[in-house]
Amino acid sequence: MRQLPEADRDAIRLAQDPQFARWLEQITSTGGCAHPVHLSGSTSTLDAETGEILHHYDTRNEPGERLLVRCRNRRATICPACSRLHAGDTFHLVRAGLLGGKNVPGTVRNRPRLFVTLTAPSFGPVHRAGERCRPRRDGSTCEHGRVLGCGAVHAPDASVIGQPLCMDCYDYTGHVLWHAHASKLWDRFVIDVRRRLASSAGIVQSRFAAHARLSFARVAEYQKRAAVHIHAVVRLDGPNGPDDEPPAWGTAEHLTDAARSSAGRVLVRTPYSPALGELTLRWGTQTDIRPLRSHGDGPDDDAVAAYVAKYVTKGADETGAGTDHKITAWDDIDAASVSEHVRSLMRACWRLGGLPEYEPLHLRAWTHTLGYRGHILTKSRVYSTTYAALRAERAHHVGHVDAPDAIRDANWRYVGSGHTPGAALMAAGIAEDIATNRAIAREEREVSR
């Protein structure tokens, strides 16, 4: 036994425990969660009229006197099992806003809908994949003596992709401040789309809400150059949301024109800084705005939903654009396992965070995400369902729902998290088995169609 690895010895110890079968049930019920939360306590369900105890659950009879529940972390690098569940919820959330379902009427599939991609502007030339990176005939150099061109052909997964040709020329300050204002820039974009639509219809801009409603779901993705760009599904409804048909003037063509115009118009100005002045921030010139057609003439709705869901589970560690843990000191930046380009962005973030004029941006608190402060996924209120509703529906499906006329008395406390080495090994195997079974079931459904 002493010659076995620690994980194997721990797994044997667990398997010999009299309560191993129940422990395995708990691990399976979490889907093989990599970092489960350990809770201790009890729940009693009582009849509202008589006070009779209908059901009582207590962890004193559980292995270790604790119950394991999912960590619900969306990042695949931290918990693959929970990230797959989160991606599935995101897929259904986005899909319901495109095709209906989950209390959203099916008529939304015939509404004006767009798939919009907005990118960050250029902060300096970077290496890119393609036939030739950045060919130049003159061989000119920048003021720091570095060649401005690159004639190499880089593979898509080459480490040099996204790295600046000259780090001294790269606008790290502009990059970080653009990240810090990206969410505000999106808000300005949505407001301006409403204004463009109102103007094109000949109605007063302040009365737009009385005629139509703009709904959206957007996800942020880090590019190879460590700059965020936005993928969004945008839909035009009547004034009451998905239950209302949009006005006659609300066509996909008008919505496309408004979105394209707004992408080039909107701007955000940074707070004035004695050191930097006032910067004007805009979207990049590489925008992609495509109508979603209900009859197949355009991107497939399911593919769009899957595309958005894919990026929700990606953390900063996986994309190489920052880290998934907060940076609390300058020395942490030097210790971070990132490229020198990302490290320079972190340093710029930390330095700017020390200026009083940028204090409201909380840049030091967001150094690990390179200054980007927005949520990975954001949606308007009536675009579709919510994560909470999807979780409640799943709980109802597996029978974890109390009677409507019952009173629930719960008393729980946190007692720990994570796995022992042997438990982690078993949980990873269970998560892999569940993922494999789902993949096989999905293939069988596709074959049977």
> Looking at the predicted structure, is the pLDDT value of residue 316 above 70?
no
Nearest to 333 by CA among 319, 349, 320: 349
As a whole number, mean pLDDT of residues 388-405 equals: 73
> Looking at the predicted structure, is the pLDDT value of residue 120 above 90?
yes
Stretch among 219-228, 296-305, 345-354, 396-405 having the lowest mean pLDDT = 396-405
Q: Are β-strands 53-58 and 37-47 bridged in parallel, bridged antiparallel, or unpaired?
A: antiparallel
**pLDDT class of 181 with cuts at 50, 70, 90:** very high
Nearest to 128 by CA among 153, 100, 106, 92: 153
Alpha carbon distance 185, 197 (integer Å): 18
pLDDT at 53: 84
> Looking at the predicted structure, is the pLDDT value of residue 297 above 60?
no
Query: Taking the CB of residue 401, how many other CB atoms lie within 10 A of it?
Result: 10
**pLDDT class of 409 with cuts at 50, 70, 90:** confident
> Looking at the predicted structure, is the pLDDT value of residue 102 above 70?
yes
Stretch among 142-156, 163-177, 250-264, 300-314 having the lowest mean pLDDT = 300-314
Mean pLDDT for the chain overall: 89
As a whole number, mean pLDDT of residues 33-43 equals: 94
pTM of the full predicted structure? 0.84
Residues sharing a CB contact under 8 Å with residue 255, sequence separation 6 or more, in sequence order = 112, 114, 193, 197, 234, 236, 291
Give residue-wise pLDDT tens across range 48-57. Answer: 778 788 888 9
From residue 235, give the alpha-carbon distance in Å to each of 116, 212, 218, 302, 333: 11, 10, 12, 16, 41
Structural contact between residues 311 and 221, judged by C-beta atoms closer than 8 angstroms: yes
> Looking at the predicted structure, is the pLDDT value of residue 311 above 80?
no
Nearest to 80 by CA among 441, 375, 430, 325: 430
Strand ranges for 53-112 from DSSP E: 53-58, 67-69
